[in-house]
Amino acid sequence: MTFTLIAILSFAALALIFGALLGFASIKFKVESDPLVDQIDNILPQTQCGQCGYPGCRPYAEAIANGDEINKCPPGGEATIKELADLMGVEAKPLDAAHGTEDVKKVAYIREAECIGCTKCIQACPVDAIIGAAKQMHTVIIDECTGCDLCVEPCPVDCIDMVPLAESSQNWKWDFNTVTVGDIPIRQL
């Protein structure tokens, strides 16, 4: 009887000691990290396009943190989904086509001759990338434009186009299929 008691007591004591040790360690060696929402938000492409169904990237980040699917972001595409999957510890899945498809990067372009200066696009732009005043022609700051498409819809005269970003020799991705190969019309001397 006393042996049993001793055994129970000693195990209880051990449990207490290790419990205290673990508790102490978890406080002492706590790893400081960004809150999950911030981490997710950092992965999202910040186009603020709302294609995911949320009004911006941060709301979607919050939704993901609360268990929403990670495959609703067409501008981010496969790469973003992969990163999110890594972060969230879930399986990467293909992009949900209901929210759009991954496309080449585009920027908005205002056909300035047709712009009537209604400022509607300015109000729609989530990143203030369109400048102009009422009754004045507007224009897009290409470097700031995220290609979110949100300005196209409100335009009453339909003068905004989404133009693919031109490839230059600086950002060419070594895809020889894109090279237009010419003939070699060399005259013989």
Partner 1 sequence: MFADFDQIMERLATKQLWDFAGGVHPDGHKGLSNQHQIADAGLPDYLYIPIKQHIGVDAELIVNVGDRVKSGQPLTESHNPFAVPVHASSSGEVIAIDEHIAAHPSGIKEATITIKVDGLDTQYNFDPVNNYNTRDKAEIVEAICKAGISGMGGAGFPTHLKSNNVKPIEFLIINGVECEPYITADDRLMREHAWQIRQGIDVLNYLLKPRQVLIAIEDNKPEAFETMSIACQQQDNYQVISIPTKYPAGGEKQLIQMLTSREVPSDGLPVDVGCLMYNVGTCYAVADAIIEGKPLTKRVVTLTGKALEKPQNFWVKIGTPVEHLLQLSGYNPDKQEYPRIIMGGPMMGFTLSSVKVPVIKTTNCLLAPEKNELAIVEDERACIRCSACADACPISLLPQQLYWYSTSKDYEVAQQYNLFDCIECGACAFVCPSEIPLVHYYRIAKAEIRQQKVEKEKSEKAKQRFEARKARLLKEKKEREEKHRLAAEARKRAMQSDDSGAKDKIAAALARAKAKKAGQATTEAPKESSGAPQAQSQQDKVAAAIARAKAKKAAQQSDNAASEKEQNTETQKTEDNPSQDDKKAKVAAAIARAKAKKAAQQSEDANEPKQENDQQASEESKPASEISEQDKKAKIAAAIARAKAKKAANKKANDE
Partner 2 sequence: MSKLTVASSPHYHNQRDTGAVMRMVIFACIPGIAMQTWFFGYGVLIQVFLCVLTAVVSEAIILEIRKKNTVRAVKDYSAVLAGLLLAISIPPLSPWWISVIGASFAIIVVKQFYGGLGYNMFNPAMTAYIMLLISFPVQMTSWLPPISLTEQQFSLWDAIHTVFTGFTAEGYSVGQLRVGVDGVTMATPLDHMKTQLTQGYTVDEALTNDIYSGNSGIGWAPIAIAFLLGGLALIKLRVINWHIPFSMIAGALITAFIFYLVDPSTFASPWFHFINGSLVFGAFFIATDPVSSSTTNNGRLIFGFAIGVWIIIIRTWGNYPDAVAFSVVLMNMAVPLIDYYTKPRTYGHKLKAKSMSEK
Binding site for partner 1 (CB under 8 A): 41, 44-48, 56-57, 79, 114, 116, 126-129, 144, 146, 155-158, 167-169, 171-176, 178-182, 184-189
In the complex, least distance from residue 6 CB atom to partner 1, rounded to whole angstroms = 54
- In the complex, minimum distance from the CB of residue 183 to partner 1, in angstroms, rounded to a whole number: 8
Checking phi first, is residue 107 left (phi over 0); if not, alpha (psi -120 to 50) or beta? beta
Name which of partner 2, partner 1, none residue 63 binds, using a CB cut-off of 5 to 8 Å depending on partner kind: none
91 binds, among partner 2, partner 1, none (CB under 5 to 8 A by kind): none
Residues interacting with partner 2, by CB under 8 A? 86, 174, 176, 179, 181-185
Long-range contacts of the stretch 164-168 (C-beta < 8 A, 24+)? 164/104, 164/105, 164/106, 165/104, 165/105, 165/106, 165/107
Q: Is residue 71 within 8 Å of residue 94, measured between CB atoms? A: yes
| Phi, psi dihedral angles at 163 (to 5 degrees) | -105, 130
Closest distance of CB 82 from partner 1, Å: 8
Question: What's the closest the beta carbon of residue 167 comes to partner 2, in angstroms?
Answer: 16
The alpha carbon dihedral of 33, 39, 43, 48 has a sign of negative
Task: Say how far residue 151 (Cα) sits from the centre of its chain.
Answer: 19
Nearer to partner 2, 113 or 179 (CB): 179
